[in-house]
Structure 1
């Protein structure tokens, strides 16, 4: 781009838009976000490999979690995405690595303890030399790590899962690590909301672990940070909520319960059976529990932070406590379900997995309502109020089915199971990429109007896409936007790029 040919005010606008990592020789890139196509693939191992990846634009290296055998982080040369190769591996020693994030030459890795109920750690490495810079203790089971946009903080979502017999249930927390303050750490939990438990549960918060305190029951899963690095939002997946954290004061300020989705509406229709010999979406008297995994934030010019969530769903399944049962094994209230015997047929609702922790209002073992796991969708929420702005209804499933990718074997569980979501600017459009674990595909949406996303295309991925990573054209080794999808069940990485106009 030759800036001397632009008007002064245009020069200022362009410079203001450039990030710290932008290439000063950045070309003009006018890309079509509906034309992403695969340009490279790499198989790095078996199940457990290629779960999450992070890209360093300075070294043009991709850092990929690999727990397929020896726990490690594989380093991949991404200078030519069509010819990727592993050039190094960083051993993480004891404990599986769950997540990685990069900022200006630093790689942060979230590593769980061998005993997952014990404190985990973040280890920071130099992306050029791979040397360890610092190791910091976190809460139990750090499941996701991210740098704040300004690089001042490293944050981890510490899930704090219980042991199998539910005798040791660590407090769920978020670790906020101050990079410039010698990596000092503050662990934030949610005990201050215990007095609000009843009111929050009435709005859809789930608190149900055996003998667990409020703070123990909260299980942080994923984090998004505002562009100004002052606010973080954290999904509490099993609890069906999003927590808001003030990074200036390092305190949790809100918990937003997400409520439930009504599958008895035409636009929300689902196929609840894997034994009906058909893929048939219909209305059913069942609620969906949003229970999001990944979260991303889009800040608009109007100042509203829009939170995008992939509503995967999750189930607590332990030796001492398992919440899921199939509808056919429950006793249904005759008034609420006058046709219960018919509904409980395997070809109808009988096979659907639902929670036993909701729906039995008076605790008599008879269910007046049914709640299934996840929402088979992605949603947009107001990050200030927690209000639902948009839900994709059943569009992910109908689009996947039309493409021939739908897996009917998952109909009785969580359907397409949206798990990962990321946002990126392609050309002049804001784009969302939604990874769906059970159909091995990524949906691409134009979210320039976050209250009205528009479907663009489906991309076939490896088996069980977990990580969806966007690399802007400015930071890309090719000078074009890249989408990098890492799949945990086959260890395959795929790279996609759009056409230019």
Structure 2
């Protein structure tokens, strides 16, 4: 019979867990390091949390750790600063200071942070966000500014190369909310060999052609469809030798491959989609039935649209791990000029925004699009036609006929599923939509488009790919299946059945099944760590919450090891439907959300090796943007006692 035991702090000190470069906060773990005893498994246990006292304001997002000063640096987007926490006693993290960046640029705010060799690198967003941002370097011990340099618009993530000689920023270049300004996306490569005088080079997308990228499967689809403006770098992974970077282009469903030495984008790699008709890749598509109903769907695919990415080595090759979150492009949602005022018909101004998300039930209603005018009808969709149909050759299984969607648009079938209207409809050889009449017959004078594929958001999964973006492994529907299983438990003491709150949202209570129509559990953040001969993945679920732990040593056969969700309150306590209602009703103080409810909306993660850990035990630190808490977990190494 197999039994399991974990090593205590004294033994862990002797068998130190290490990450690349001797610093576990550089976002580049698992590239080598000291060989230690290899555990058979890992288990997380909740240790502590720092509470900002702010709810649903992104007061804790991205953490990074400096082992020499034993300080944790956490992006507080609510205040636009970096909270500096004393981690000398990880059971009681305490605020030392909040580091603002006004001395770099007036009105600027902190977006991201990385730490290596006593240097704190900060990605700084300008005011307005469409102006060029900055990267700045500070000393970790006394928080003094060493140097800064201008980079591209909206640097959203920053990372060191393994040797610490450079930092890279992903300059997302999001448009203004009214879409009147749309800066170019880019990647900045900054030489910091002299931190007082950082030197920047820019890798841009000027060499790429929109039509060529589209034909390869890259989504180039925003207003104007200019490649440099349409591509929005999100997150960066760097190879162990520091020569190559891979950057997620989330909304574009692609990766950019970058030569760091020459600051050149050498390729844009399309990621493809998940076929939701294949067993093992299904989804629960409705939030209306209040039931767990994971199944396959003919004609439905999932776009990966990954957020976080990390690189690691296995059997002499580099592999890339992505968290397939699935963000849609949505600008102008609160702009009446974009939608058009109620009573004005379909007079929305397409130049004032771009919203690609739409429910299936509204897309294929027999009455057409105009019933949604002034509400949620994107004017760009209305320009395509007066309504849409489902291809009966594909969707006959749910009752679609040539001119009627049948039961497909019912709430407990596909009706509630959020999809993008920008692709999936039939086009001619020139790429123009094929038009149909109300009866579903091809007709040049017709006013309807016809969808034979529905593109939903996110993989609800994590993927492992090779260095050229080829898929090696995808977890498919395994995460949703686990959350629906008897095995899955919630809370720091693992006493709550996941099934009772399957696909809940991060700010809701009594909300079982509420996220099934969108992106499900929504994997967003991840980090990895090497222990002995194994590599481990820590994957954060933004909506359902919690951290999944996998052994990814074999890229083709990852093994799930653990799941810990340190949210302890899921329902009851009032008539409200979300935590904000409890606060508004005086039933819960905003400052008590962390202590009472727990951790909500995990965003960024950092793995701290035992050799770097203040207590000699490997730690995982997670920034939770909704609860405003920074959670500290101990990583227990488990060994099979034969």
Q: TM-score, normalised by structure 1?
A: 0.92
Q: Which residue of the other structure, out of 247, 257, 263, is the alignment partner of 2:276? A: 263
Q: Report if the CA contact (8 A) 1:123-1:132 is conserved.
A: yes
Match of 2:479 in 1: 396
Matches within 5 A, 1:117-266: 117-180=130-193, 182-194=197-209, 197-266=210-279
Q: Report if the CA contact (8 A) 1:32-1:499 is conserved.
A: no
1:95 is displaced (CA, Å) by 2.8
Cα distance in structure 2, aligned partners of 1:310 and 1:17 = 21
Which stretch shows the higher mean deviation, 32-41 or 231-240?
32-41
Matched, 1:450 2:587: no
Q: Report if the CA contact (8 A) 2:20-2:162 is conserved.
A: no
Cα distance in structure 2, aligned partners of 1:37 and 1:486 = 16
Matches within 5 A, 1:35-50: 35-46=43-54, 47-50=57-60
Query: How many residue pairs get matched?
Result: 479
Q: Report if the CA contact (8 A) 1:289-1:374 is conserved.
A: yes
1:437 to 1:113, Cα distance in 2 relative to 1, 3 A: same
Cα distance in structure 2, aligned partners of 1:447 and 1:294 = 16
1:279 is displaced (CA, Å) by 1.3
Q: Which residue of the other structure, out of 372, 378, 387, is the alignment partner of 2:470? A: 387
Q: Which residue of the other structure, out of 420, 424, 428, is the alignment partner of 1:359? A: 424
Q: Report if the CA contact (8 A) 2:527-2:606 is conserved.
A: yes
1:474 is displaced (CA, Å) by 1.7
Cα deviation per residue 1:223-252 (whole Å; 9 max; x = unaligned)? 001111111000000000011101111111
Q: Which residue of the other structure, out of 343, 354, 361, is the alignment partner of 1:321? A: 354
RMSD: 1.9
1:27 is displaced (CA, Å) by 12
Q: Report if the CA contact (8 A) 1:100-1:144 is conserved.
A: yes
1:123 to 1:21, Cα distance in 2 relative to 1, 3 A: closer
Match of 1:334 in 2: 392
1:111 is displaced (CA, Å) by 1.4
Cα distance in structure 1, aligned partners of 2:19 and 2:410 = 57
Match of 2:99 in 1: 90
Matched, 1:415 2:498: no
Cα distance in structure 1, aligned partners of 2:19 and 2:523 = 31
SS in 2 for 1:266: coil
SS in 2 for 1:486: strand
Q: Report if the CA contact (8 A) 2:601-2:625 is conserved.
A: yes
SS in 1 for 2:459: coil
Cα distance in structure 2, aligned partners of 1:471 and 1:301 = 24
Matches within 5 A, 1:488-499: 488-499=625-636
- Return the structure number with greater strand share: 1
Larger Rg: 2
1:296 to 1:415, Cα distance in 2 relative to 1, 3 A: same
SS in 2 for 1:49: coil
Cα distance in structure 2, aligned partners of 1:357 and 1:499 = 46
Match of 1:80 in 2: 89
Unaligned 5+ segments in structure 1 are 1-13
Cα deviation per residue 1:74-123 (whole Å; 9 max; x = unaligned)? 11111111111111111233233111000111101111112111101112
1:42 is displaced (CA, Å) by 1.6
1:17 to 1:87, Cα distance in 2 relative to 1, 3 A: closer
1:18 is displaced (CA, Å) by 8.0
1:41 is displaced (CA, Å) by 1.5
1:202 is displaced (CA, Å) by 3.2
Cα distance in structure 2, aligned partners of 1:391 and 1:28 = 29
SS in 2 for 1:267: coil
1:203 is displaced (CA, Å) by 3.5
SS in 1 for 2:293: coil
Q: Report if the CA contact (8 A) 2:606-2:622 is conserved.
A: yes
1:401 is displaced (CA, Å) by 2.5
Higher relative contact order (CA 8 A, sep 6+): 2
1:336 is displaced (CA, Å) by 2.8
1:427 is displaced (CA, Å) by 4.5
SS in 1 for 2:220: coil
1:428 is displaced (CA, Å) by 3.6
Q: Report if the CA contact (8 A) 1:27-1:479 is conserved.
A: no
Q: Report if the CA contact (8 A) 1:416-1:437 is conserved.
A: yes
Matched, 1:467 2:604: yes
Cα deviation per residue 1:170-216 (whole Å; 9 max; x = unaligned)? 1100011110153110121112122xx43432332100011131111
1:167 is displaced (CA, Å) by 2.2
Matched, 1:346 2:346: no
Q: Report if the CA contact (8 A) 1:296-1:307 is conserved.
A: yes
SS in 1 for 2:392: coil
Match of 1:296 in 2: 310
1:433 to 1:17, Cα distance in 2 relative to 1, 3 A: closer
Cα deviation per residue 1:368-392 (whole Å; 9 max; x = unaligned)? 2100111100000001x22100000
Cα distance in structure 1, aligned partners of 2:454 and 2:417 = 10
Cα deviation per residue 1:456-496 (whole Å; 9 max; x = unaligned)? 11111411100111111121112221111110011111111
1:498 is displaced (CA, Å) by 2.7
Cα distance in structure 2, aligned partners of 1:96 and 1:148 = 24
Q: Report if the CA contact (8 A) 1:33-1:426 is conserved.
A: no
